Amino acid sequence: MIKKGIKLIKNGKRIDGRLAKQLRDMEMKIDVISTADGSAKVKFGNTIAIASVRGPRALFPRHLQESQTGILRCKYAMAPFSVDERKSPAPNRRSIEISKVTRLALGPTTFLEDFPKTVIDVFIEIIQADGSTRVAGINASSIALTSAGVPMRDLVSACSVGKINGTLVVDLNGEEDNNSEADVAFAILPSKDEVTLLQMDGLLTKDELIELLNLAKDSCKKICELQKGVLREKYKSE
């Protein structure tokens, strides 16, 4: 959404006290759901995403199976209690779009061709929404897939960047997202610097976009270190 005139930066500080290029406090945890093959919880400030992975497992009904490859399915949903006003649990255009871009962001990391006739299901539930939920969901999914033992080419690390009150910022919260001049959702495979998600809303100059993409890349590298840290912890204790 693009609105102007709302003061979101005062004396160089954002409404939650952060500097322009500062990420929110982030927490990551894996194996939070015992019934899943792999799961993770990612907290970006007040945004909390839970990802749960099942598979690879045989896909039924059989006519949906692909003989040469496995299939990745992603479902993003915001819980009815995740925002101030009750959110309908039914899928809407936004959640269908986010499910699709999440699948496209994660797809290049998985060796689906090694698992013909199977499906890997990724369920993302946003239990608290305060901006950047799609990227929080992608980060959670990436470590949940790894924790499920799905062979991966790389992790996927994601963050949001944008422009508020003429200032370029990273990791937008809900208020900032709703009043931004532009916001960008970004994901990379950190080892290869391969971009798997780039969505932009609003207006930016070419130079601003280039600066924001560099900021996003740096932020994703920091997020990747957190993802690796939580996975290392798991395998250290096994």
- In terms of CB distance, is 37 or 176 closer to ligand ADP? 176
Contact between 87 and ligand ADP per CB under 6 A: yes
- Identify the residue among 64, 81, 91, 94 touching ligand ADP (CB under 6 A): 94
Q: Which of 125, 130, 176, 181 contacts ligand ADP by CB under 6 A?
A: 130
Specify whether the CB–CB gap between 64 and 71 falls below 8 A.
yes
Whether 198 and 184 have beta carbons less than 8 Å apart is answered as: yes
Count CB atoms within 10 A of the CB of residue 89: 12
213 near ligand ADP, judged by CB under 6 A = no
Cα→Cα distances 104→18, 44, 118, 185, Å: 31, 22, 18, 13
Q: What are phi and psi of 69, to 5 degrees?
A: -155, 160
Does position 132 interact with ligand ADP (CB under 6 A)? The reply is yes
Shortest reach from residue 83's CB to ligand ADP, in Å:
4
According to CB under 6 A, which one of 158, 177, 182, 215 is a site residue for ligand ADP?
A: 177
Task: Tell me whether residue 75 or residue 87 sits nearer to ligand ADP (CB atom).
Answer: 87
What separation in angstroms does the CA of 208 have from each of 15, 84, 168, 183, 185?
22, 33, 8, 12, 15
| Chain centroid, CA 105 distance in Å | 9
Closest to ligand ADP by CB, 118 vs 157, is 157
Q: Using CB under 6 A, list all residues that contact ligand ADP.
A: 83, 87, 94, 129-134, 160, 174, 177-178, 185
